[in-house]
Structure 1
Amino acid sequence: MTKNLLVFLLSGLLLPVLSHAQFREYSNEFLNIGAGARGMAMGNAQVASVSDGTAGYWNPAGLAAVKDHPNINLMYSDYFSGIGNYIYTSVAIPIQDNKRTLGVSLLRFAVDDIPNTLFLVQPDGTINYNNIQTFSSADYALLLSYGQYLKQTENEKISFGFNAKIIRRVVGSFANAWGFGLDAAFQMQKGRWRIGAVARDITTTFNAWTFSFTDQEKQVLYLTNNDIPVKSTELTAPRLILGGGYDFRINKTLSLLAEANADLTFGSRRNTLISSSAVSVDPHIGVELGINKVFFVRAGVTNFQQALADGDTLNQKKVWIYQPSLGAGIKLGNVTIDYALSNLANQTSSLYTNVFSLKLDLIDNKKHLTNNEKE
């Protein structure tokens, strides 16, 4: 056994950030997981219809729809039987006569208790399991959001918004990065139609990495032919997300909202439904059935990719796979509880994750009762 085999995990975690500044096809991907069980149940199709505190994540222009009282959102989910965990929380605060709204969102995706086997094998070749320590690889993002109405009538609403993103990534004591970026957004509702657009990373979001190894760790990396990085910068290319939706409003009891989004990435070919060297398009489709604006049933599909057919390693035949999701929600006064069941890989895989989220409207009960008495 060579020490090379013992450091593969650490090397794999650091490999994406070893080179100097350059664009990455997949960078800061934890920011593309989603926020809130409602949106994740609808296949991440949200940019045209989102109108609560999660808009800071999906489309900050939608924050303008948060009126009268602050809105708080909390979400937790785990992946791969608890190996990875994802936490999202946000607060949206309306200001200036309900025409403007501020939002703050915090995201954390982490894999904890990763074994560090750098010193498992001692200089004399013996194995000492007591030398195994654990560390975490965690990604954080703080979104500072703003949404404002440009036009607000009974039949037509137009709003814009933006995000300032602060990113923090940490790999144990070995590596850490700070990043910064900006998003710009637009949303319009006319009658039953909804339109939305978000330009993410318009400033080419960057992560500036620094590395810190002890002399002993450097020696092990050197003896196993691993590079010892000093600094590097990772760039995230801009992305454009377009969306459209329609509210069918079946009757006074039932409503059906359907939305479709398209993620457009530029400059590299990705494994998406539409793929070229100039632009790649990844669609998202979602529906939400509402009952008395109290009960909700949702479904969605996203992440269309080509993959080898199961068991067909000889002919290398590729088939289209996709990621389905289902969910439900219930609104009890000023509290909404949502649930989503999302497939992590494709429609034939048994890898599922459960997503729970809570939305709370901070209503002033005294003011609310007074308004009801007046009515």
Structure 2
Amino acid sequence: MTYIQYSVKTLTRLLLLPFAGACIVATASAQFVTYSNDFLNIGAGAAGLAMGGAQVSSVKDATAGYYNPAGLMGVKDKPDFALMHAEYFAGIGKYDYASAAFPINDGKRVLGLSLLRFAVDDIPNTLYLVNPQDGSIDYNNIQTFSSADYAFLLSLAQKLKENENGRWSIGLNTKIIYRDVGSFAHAWGFGFDGGLQYLGKHASFGVVLRDMTTTFNAWSFSFTDQEKQALYLTNNDIPVKSTELTAPQLIVGGSYLFHIGKKVSIRPAIDLDVTFDGKRNTIISSDPVSVDPHIGLELGYKDFVFLRAGINNFQRALADGDTLDQKKVWIYQPSVGAGFKVKFVTIDYAFTNLANQSDPLYTHIFSLKFDIGPLPKKH
């Protein structure tokens, strides 16, 4: 057995320990949920979002912990950090992302840490809006609560082979998920991702198997006696506990780097999200396999200034102005962006439209990447 095989085997055993314990507490009510933990599909970093999320084959910085853990091997000699903040739907939804990557074992491996949070605040709680005794409505009884989703990713990447033509690397993620809905519901979850990447001088390829052992969320609910009574009188079920499962998802991507002279570069990229949990509203939609593409393009000048564009999230929707609700059209999520690098700091920007109908929803996203200098050499 080679040293690489031994290291990967040992790491896999360590990562599977929490999963084994999770399986013990999973209940018979567990079921696959099509869009479970969907906040993990938003994206990370303005550079990747500007390219429509097409990053699996070419990512090589701290955001690789999110897109493809194998890409963390692109972080060499010095730690890399990334920060991002975005607000959706006029500030109703807030999305924060932070990640760090640290070369270890003299650059033979890279350790990555990522934290994601998506939250919606001030959600109206109308549980006591209607008085159960006389049916009267009292708006003063409306209270508000927050719903927040958190994910922590621990990543490890290792080089398989490297020569003058390119580098092969693998990576593993273990993720811990916490979801909180006011004081009513809480969930803990665990999951694992695996990635492979070939990063060449021109052609690059990547593949990621997300939720490869299925990711689960174990929900627990805590209602007061008064809340239970209100739910009962309004014919609502009173949940006790449940477990939802996220089916594995395969992401395959490729990109090619063209050079125009010595200063200009162009990199087109495409990712294909392949799901196996039933028919979805995507370009290729079948049961049980559906395919959703991400298409991106990056134009660089002297590895200093970058312009980016992308398209993703293709869906069939009802056409505006169709009063009969019969005509359907394709909609998609376009995005553009830019970035520039000054010494050890990179600032990226993305501008995306969450719909292309008559009432588009625009979002501005900024992110920051930086390093702190070379790590000290071991003697």
TM > 0.5 fold call: yes
Q: Matches of residues 198-277 of structure 1 in structure 2 within 5 Å?
A: 198-277=208-287
Paired residue for 2:42? 33
The match for 1:55 among 64, 69, 74 is: 64
Paired residue for 1:116? 125
Work out whether residues 79 and 374 of structure 2, in 8 Å CA contact, stay in contact via their aligned partners in 1. no
Work out whether residues 92 and 102 of structure 1, in 8 Å CA contact, stay in contact via their aligned partners in 2. yes
- CA displacement 1:221-257 (0-9 Å, x = unmatched): 0000000000000000000000000000112110111
Paired residue for 1:164? 174
- Whichever residue aligns with residue 173 of structure 1, its letter is S
The match for 2:340 among 330, 340, 350 is: 330
1:154 shift after superposition: 2.2
- Whichever residue aligns with residue 371 of structure 2, its letter is D
1:126 shift after superposition: 4.9
Work out whether residues 343 and 349 of structure 1, in 8 Å CA contact, stay in contact via their aligned partners in 2. no
The match for 1:20 among 18, 24, 29 is: 29
Paired residue for 2:14? none
Unaligned stretches of 5+ in structure 2? 1-27
CA, structure 1 residues 148+366, in 2 after alignment: closer, same or farther (shift >3 Å)?
closer
1:53 shift after superposition: 0.0
* Structure 1 residue 282 corresponds to structure 2 residue 292: yes
Q: Percent identity?
A: 66
- Whichever residue aligns with residue 314 of structure 1, its letter is L
2:259 aligns to what SS in structure 1?
A: coil
- Whichever residue aligns with residue 187 of structure 1, its letter is Q
Unaligned stretches of 5+ in structure 1? 1-18, 368-375
* Structure 1 residue 309 corresponds to structure 2 residue 319: yes
The match for 1:185 among 195, 220, 223 is: 195
Q: What is the alpha-carbon root mean square deviation over aligned residues?
A: 1.7
Work out whether residues 302 and 322 of structure 1, in 8 Å CA contact, stay in contact via their aligned partners in 2. yes
Work out whether residues 324 and 347 of structure 1, in 8 Å CA contact, stay in contact via their aligned partners in 2. no
Q: CA separation in 2, counterparts of 1:189 and 1:22?
A: 38
1:170 aligns to what SS in structure 2?
A: strand
- Whichever residue aligns with residue 180 of structure 2, its letter is V
Work out whether residues 320 and 358 of structure 2, in 8 Å CA contact, stay in contact via their aligned partners in 1. no
Work out whether residues 79 and 375 of structure 2, in 8 Å CA contact, stay in contact via their aligned partners in 1. no
1:202 shift after superposition: 0.5
Work out whether residues 319 and 325 of structure 2, in 8 Å CA contact, stay in contact via their aligned partners in 1. no
* Structure 1 residue 142 corresponds to structure 2 residue 146: no
Q: CA separation in 1, counterparts of 2:216 and 2:304?
A: 42
Q: CA separation in 2, counterparts of 1:43 and 1:136?
A: 29
- CA displacement 1:161-198 (0-9 Å, x = unmatched): 01001010110000010000000000002331000000
Work out whether residues 323 and 347 of structure 1, in 8 Å CA contact, stay in contact via their aligned partners in 2. no
Paired positions, count? 349
1:121 shift after superposition: 3.6
The match for 1:106 among 111, 115, 139 is: 115
Work out whether residues 39 and 46 of structure 1, in 8 Å CA contact, stay in contact via their aligned partners in 2. yes
Work out whether residues 79 and 85 of structure 1, in 8 Å CA contact, stay in contact via their aligned partners in 2. yes
1:125 shift after superposition: 4.8
2:228 aligns to what SS in structure 1?
A: helix
